[in-house]
Amino acid sequence: MELREALYKYLLRIGDTSLIAGQRLAEWVSEGPTLEEDIALTNISLDLFGQARAALSYAAEVQGKGATEDSLTYLRSEREYYNTLLSELPNGNFANTIANQFLNDAYLYHFYTALGKSKDEKLAAFAIKSVKEVRYHLRHTGEWVVRLGDGTEESKNKMQSAIDDVWMFTGDLFEMDEVDETLIEMGIGVDLNEIKRSWDTTVNKVLERATITRPEDGYMQTGRLDGQHTEYLGHILSELQYLQRAHPGAEW
């Protein structure tokens, strides 16, 4: 596979995951269980949007066909999005949001830590910057998993159900194809098998402390690599893209 094509797709996968996770968390604006939590979730959302902008503007540059971070965001259809399925799942109750976000944060934390050593200088700089922010996100959601899991009977049940419900989407995080192989060979990309091991350690440590039982790995729903999504992404995009689709080129 050609380097430019592989790097472009790799950057879309990174940028799309941040963008969609950020959009999901933004739905918590004014709906948070407490004022502090409202502010926390939307601060995390803002960091994710910033990371998405950096990754997607680099993707546009690599593609070299006149795209911009905005055109990539507003004008691609569902099947042209390559975010993780985990990032597009509905917020559900607060425990669902925390479970989804925690598993995503643990993934991004280890992924960006490894990507910081990429031979692509721009990608490495982006990863080193991002991991500083993700460290705070992971600390936040990890502490909530413990607080809810090791809390009251009701909070524990909700946290356990949330982890059980989302588990079948975690296999998707670690799927690889020729895009990954091409970039790993060149020292640019990250081996997701290694990320899986670090992710397991982090997740196990938190779940144990939270007295939550780690679900068995069973059937895993995947699709990220080919742009195959759950039914939820279309709804996110219809809201995210509405203005630019209805009024092409509209500006503030």
Partner 1 sequence: MMVEIVSESKVWEWLNEVPDPEIPVISVVELGVVRSINILDDKNIEVVITPTYSGCPAMNIFEEDIEKKLKEKGFENVALTTVLSPAWTTDWIKDDVLDKLEKYGIAPPVKGTADKGALFESGPKVVRCPKCKSETTVLVSQFGSTACKALYTCSSCHEPFEYFKCI
In b/e form, how buried is each residue of 190-225, taking b as 16+ CB within 10 angstroms?
Answer: bebeebbebbeebbeebbeebebeeeeeeeeebbbb
251 sits near partner 1 (criterion: CB under 8 A): no
Q: Which of 7, 20, 48, 195 lies at the binding interface for partner 1 (CB under 8 A)?
A: 48
CB of 163 to partner 1, least distance (A): 16
CB of 42 to partner 1, least distance (A): 8
Q: Please give the Cα distance from 142 to 153 (Å, whole number).
A: 19
196 sits near partner 1 (criterion: CB under 8 A): no
Stretch that binds partner 1, among 5-13, 82-90, 155-163, 198-206 (CB under 8 A): 198-206
CB of 13 to partner 1, least distance (A): 17
Helix axes 3-26, 35-63, angle to 10 degrees: 160
Q: Please give the Cα distance from 219 to 169 (Å, whole number).
A: 9
Q: Segment 159-178, which members bind partner 1 (CB under 8 A)?
A: none
Residue among 175, 22, 47 nearest 101 (CA): 22
CB of 116 to partner 1, least distance (A): 9
User: What burial class does residue 123 get, using C-beta atoms within 10 Å of its C-beta: 0-12 exposed, 13-18 middle, 19+ buried?
Assistant: buried
User: How many residues of this chain interact with partner 1, rule: CB under 8 A?
Assistant: 37
CB of 236 to partner 1, least distance (A): 18
**Pattern of binders to partner 1 over 61-100, x per CB under 8 A?**
----------------------------------------
Question: Count of residues for the chain?
Answer: 252
Q: Which of 6, 11, 40, 159 lies at the binding interface for partner 1 (CB under 8 A)?
A: 40
CA angle at 46 for the pair 136 and 137, rounded to the nearest 5°: 15
44 sits near partner 1 (criterion: CB under 8 A): yes
Q: Segment 105-144, which members bind partner 1 (CB under 8 A)?
A: 109, 121-122, 124-126, 128-130, 132-136, 138-140, 142-143
CB 203 within 8 A of CB 139: no
Q: Segment 211-250, which members bind partner 1 (CB under 8 A)?
A: none
CB of 213 to partner 1, least distance (A): 19
Q: Please give the Cα distance from 169 to 86 (Å, whole number).
A: 6
Two tokens at 31? 């709906």
Residue among 64, 59, 103, 73 nearest 85 (CA): 103
23 sits near partner 1 (criterion: CB under 8 A): no
Q: What residue ranges bind partner 1 (CB under 8 A)?
A: 36-37, 39-40, 43-44, 46-51, 53-54, 109, 121-122, 124-126, 128-130, 132-136, 138-140, 142-143, 202, 205-206, 209
